[in-house]
Amino acid sequence: MTYTHLSPAHQELRDHTEKVAVMLPAIAGQGTPGTINRPLLAALSSHGLLGRLFPETSAMDLCVIREALARHCTEAETAFALQGLGTYPILLAGKQSTVDEWLPRITAGEAAVGFALTEPGAGSDAASLALSATPDGDGFRLNGEKVFISNAPEADVYSVFARTSDNGTRGITAFAVPGNTSGLSGTRQRLVSPHPIGSLRFDNAYVPAEAMLGEVDGGWRVAMRTLDMFRPSVGAFALGMGQAALNAAVAHTKERQAFGRPLRDFQAVSHQLADVATRLQAARLLVHDAAAAYDSGAERTGHLSAMAKLFATETAQQAVDVAIQVHGARALEEGHLLEHLYREVRAPRIYEGASEIQREIIARQLYR
């Protein structure tokens, strides 16, 4: 498939990623569900995909890679995305010594990274986070809890957002916290889809001032800039799953016979797939437009990222649901592609800002 609006370089990147992606399910299948698959990280590195992200991160690169990976191997896509999300705050705002310490290991697939923002009492209302960072000598002591954290509790380093003053979003500071920090512990969380996600507990964990990402009380901007960067590519991840579901449905309805003719001959079936194909392409254009806007350095792109994530994730959910419906009961069997996608496709409508939050961002821009 060729997307005429993509540059030749991005079309080439997409083709390369597709070729890599078809080789990755075998490696993904050897991992333990719910834990970091380090051989998979190494494979993403050896094929140049992690290196493509750093040190010059492009939102469009992210979108092209994530959609292509998701079409063939959602585990590889998730591993790739979690590395990017956790690393970007370090790259965006870390001191040179922090970047030099972690970036080579991350790019080589040797270090796993987590993005630690969400807390038990601060999900959609992320500005309400309570994890405290109290000054102590030349550093800070962190106390509190994080939940639904990528690559926890096994990550080698986390981008952690903590409260340094009682000033709402202007009282949050970001830190790069090694996973082996004394006073830091965690547990796995079991979700519908077995991703490496867990909770973290900070018990008087010390981090030096050099580990700050940006300035004191400047962490909210780091978090929001990271999410603006990654939200279009969450849409791209969803698009890959939606496209995989549509492709499966088209193949099935060509071959499956009912009442003496293929399912494709029934308009009740084929027109549903036509609607899905149209929505997927519209979502793809939204995703790529938001990514291009971010990469251009435009001052305000949050509403475009929100539109892209909202429409793409909602569309992908519909695509998978329609594909299951035209397959019938066989798609519900454990191990079927669509059973897998049905579990995978639900979470993107929640993480990195639920659909309701995206609508709020878009509405605020309308009245700005």
The catalytic residue positions are 352
Q: Where are the alpha helices (DSSP H) in 73-201?
A: 74-93, 96-107
User: Which of 278, 267, 307 lies closest to 291, judged by CA?
Assistant: 307
Tracing tokens 């993509």 back to the chain, one arrives at: 6
Longest alpha-carbon distance in the chain? 79
**If DSSP codes are grouped into helix, strand and coil, which group holds residue 201?**
strand
- CA 5 to mean position of chain CA atoms: 24
Distances (CA, A) of 105 to 58, 87, 108, 223, 232: 20, 11, 5, 22, 26
Q: Classify residue 12 by its DSSP letter.
A: H
Residues 158/177, Cβ–Cβ less than 8 Å: yes
CA separation for the pair 103, 106 (Å, rounded): 5
Q: Where are the alpha helices (DSSP H) in 94-208?
A: 96-107
The tokens of 22 are what? Answer: 């078809």
Helix axes 302-327, 267-295, angle to 10 degrees: 160
Residues 318/241, Cβ–Cβ less than 8 Å: no
Q: How many residues would you count in the chain?
A: 368
Pairing of strands 261-262, 132-136: unpaired
Half-sphere exposure of 255 (CA within 13 A, CB side): 6
The DSSP secondary structure of 229-268, one letter per residue, reads HHHHHHHHHHHHHHHHHHHHHHHHHHH-EETTEEGGG-HH
User: Which of 209, 86, 87 lies closest to 149, judged by CA?
Assistant: 86
